[in-house]
Amino acid sequence: MSKGHMPKIDSMTVKQASSARLFRRTILRWYGTYGRDLPWRRTRDAWKILVSEIMLQQTQVARVIPKYEAFLSKWPTPKAFASASLGEALSAWNGLGYNRRCKHLHVAAKEIVSELGGITPVNVEILQALPGIGPYTARAVASFSANADVVLWDTNVRRIALRYFFGGEFVRSAPNDEKLHGVLDLSLPKGRSRDWHNALMDFGSAVCIGRSPLCASCPLLRTCIAAPKFLRGLSPARKLVRPQARFEGSRRQARGAVLRALAAAGTKGLRVTALRTLLRSHDAESIVNALVREGLVARRGNVISLP
């Protein structure tokens, strides 16, 4: 679908308010039957929820669960994690990828201890002031730990709302995001933010999925604006879906390989020249220098190690 044929988003109407109530009731009813039992949903500890939110960024739930449980068994509080070295933290993070998330969490833990008395905040503004914590993560922690009535959306939630209320995708812009925020705010059940956002995320991963939503068995079938288009084989989002960058052979894969090798090597580290076979087509010196600049690797001459 070209930008010139994007679905028009009208101002909120009485009909839309009625749709929001039905949307809310239906999703929560579905969640009561099909909601997932995940370890971070069994706690209201803001630190544990912050750890889960950082780990879940761009990483599948199945990969996160064992890492999350092992991480918290070792570092159950910000104080415990802040006392660890970054090298220890990166070793424990090994396998999750996007290792800068680990460094940001480590720095945030130190600030929580030094500036906030070791208590992870649940206030959105205070959370967002911590290193590496953006608007979404701050709102997620506030919602899932304190049940705060805040609106948050990830890719799944955005997709569901755009299909149900507007009939498909539209170009990201401040006015369009404001209208999306409006319908999500209208749908939010006050006092049930935690359940509501868990329900939306589960629904988006199980029913209203990206390329081939299960419209025929969806409980929102009769009232979703986009459903008829999908049932006729006309995806309103297909042309806007950007394929994920290839991981195999990528620089990101190479960076992860370096960190895994260093975790296995322990304190003795490795020579940069020893990485050339591991990295094959990639420039070992360039990758090592980038990791050093980011503080993820320490270097002394030709020997590198985890910090």
Which CATH code fits 3-37+151-240? 1.10.1670.10
Q: Count the alpha carbons within 13 Å of 4 in the hemisphere toward its beta carbon.
A: 0
What are the tens digits of pLDDT across the range 195-254? 999 999 999 999 999 888 999 999 999 999 999 988 887 655 444 344 455 555 567 777
- From the list 105, 106, 141, the residue with the least C-alpha distance to 123 is 141
CB atoms closer than 10 angstroms to residue 6: 17
pLDDT in the model for residue 193? 97
The answer to whether 163 and 232 are in contact (CB under 8 A) is no
CB atoms closer than 10 angstroms to residue 144: 26
Spatial distance between the Cα atoms of 204 and 42, rounded to a whole number of angstroms: 21
Spatial distance between the Cα atoms of 174 and 252, rounded to a whole number of angstroms: 31
Q: What does the chain come to in residues?
A: 307
Per domain, the residue ranges of the chain are 3-37+151-240, 251-305
What are the tens digits of pLDDT across the range 83-97? 999 999 999 998 888
Q: Which CATH number among 1.10.10, 1.10.3470, 2.60.40, 3.90.1200 corresponds to the domain 251-305?
A: 1.10.10
Spatial distance between the Cα atoms of 31 and 48, rounded to a whole number of angstroms: 23
Q: What is the pTM of this model?
A: 0.79
How far does Cα 199 stand from its chain's mean position?
16
Of 53, 111, 125, 248, which residue is the catalytic one? 53
Residues 6 or more apart whose CB falls under 8 angstroms from that of 12 comprise: 179, 182, 183, 186
Backbone angles phi, psi at 240, to 5 degrees: -100, -5
Is-catalytic flag, 53?
Answer: yes
What are the tens digits of pLDDT across the range 53-89? 999 998 899 999 999 999 999 999 999 999 999 999 9
Backbone dihedral region for residue 140 (phi beyond 0: left; psi -120 to 50: alpha; all else: beta) = alpha
